[in-house]
Chain A
Amino acid sequence: MAGIDHAPPPFFKRGPAPLALLTFYIAISLAVFFVDLRMRSLDLLRQSLSLVVDPVQRAAQAPGSLVDLAAGYLQGLQALQVENRELKHAKLNTAPDLQRLAQLESENERLRKLLAVKEREQAKGQVAQILYTARDPFSRKVIVDKGQQSNIGAGQPAIDEAGVVGQVTRVFPFSAEITLITDKDQAVPVQIVRNGQRSVVFGLGNGQLELRYMPANADVQEGDLLVTSGLDSIYLPGFPVAKVVQVERDSAYSFARIFCAPIAAVENFGELMILDPRQALPPPPPESKGRGQVAEVVNVRGRKKH
């Protein structure tokens, strides 16, 4: 009789039922998905996992970069000489501007002091190497080789020799993720150089950018240069962002559709410069009267509680 109510032998023990396990894992996955999407509070988990994943990823990139290195080695003397000559030529072309730059900057500073205008911020940064493009086919991001160890923080802008490339969106211990300006709905506040009109340019996700919410009769022409306006606390003013390539004006819509092409080599590999975060902006001006009253009421209530 003793044998009848025995538990089944361990051979049959297979853990929880598959459907129960499935429900459990699906619940966790969905919870993680929405927490990461809406609250961004899982960055610590991401950073610690990246400590494991990052070395493997760099190792996987090694064969590709070795091939590049070998190609560069075998490129030949002549190609290098040509490139060297072109670079010297380009350097000479920019020399007149550069040589007077220091003098201009000091003059600008003096004039601004005379006018009692706040001094222009200096652009400083660190050069970073693009390691690889993120594999995610739904977005446009690159990974660079500087991270928390180099005091990179989320939000810092990245530029290359021609213009704005993107913005740091996630920081890992030894690397950082830069979202390109062509990523869908990535926004950059810009100004049209020709007439000083301000707007915001959005990425379209297909390598192009779009200038949104401009009235159909706005003064925008093909070939207009867009530079950062500096009206945020992120981008310094004056960096080239994009060039207008196509303007569609349809009176049926209240806004014109304006397509732009990025100026920087946004989707190419290479080096880029991550600019230091901007100095804090001055506090915003006092709010309008109606809202001010509301604020006062709230303050009074707050005081009553004490």
Chain B
Amino acid sequence: MADTFTVHLKIWRQDGPDQPGKLVDYTLDKVNEHMSFLEMLDVLNEEIVAEGKEEPIEFDYDCREGICGSCNLVINGQAHGPKDMTCTCQLHMRNFSDGDTIVIEPFRAKAFPVIKDLVVDRSAFDRIIEAGGYVSVKTGSAPDANSIPIDKTVADTAFDYATCIGCGACVAACPNSSASLFTGAKLAHLNRLPQGEPERKKRTVAMVEQMDEEGFGDCSNYAECEAVCPKGISISAIAEMRRNYVKATLAGTEA
């Protein structure tokens, strides 16, 4: 059996959106290196429930295999914690040592209001997709799938951008709380494909404007988003988004 160890936790507790929050200290023994970070929190919650003095800590999760995008913790100041290309749920306690102090906070942004403790409302992302993050095709009207050959490299790059899981780490890491990487990734996925071409301009303008309306900040090229993205999405998406936005908004300059 693997050795167990002790960690000291400082966890953000907040009763509701309009309540003040604060960091609360906990100490957890019997942490196992093979535990995932969220399993460590499960174990802590079981202790809290058994003691019955306070409510368990609320945090979002679902698939626990790094694909649904539900989990969203800032761990020691880093969105999704210290390991590159890894969601919170795929972070394992072997990345920490005995006696470590670990600070756990929600993804903070004006556009992501706290619901409770570490749970935030990311519905602003849905509204950005709603603004144009799709190809307008009705069920049943599609031509044969092989009727449009697509250069493998184009398809592969579009895929790289399409792997975004919508977790919001890019926003949490950005000093401006910008959603440019999220928005840019969806635009790069769809705008690069022939299927997405007819709506490219309309989509780009609509999504960028929605992003502003939701209260996300502008991009100042800090590139913190790329550094924390669990899917490794490149910030070239943002440059591409800007190019397309400028082209689409300056009349007559469509390239």
A and B associate: no
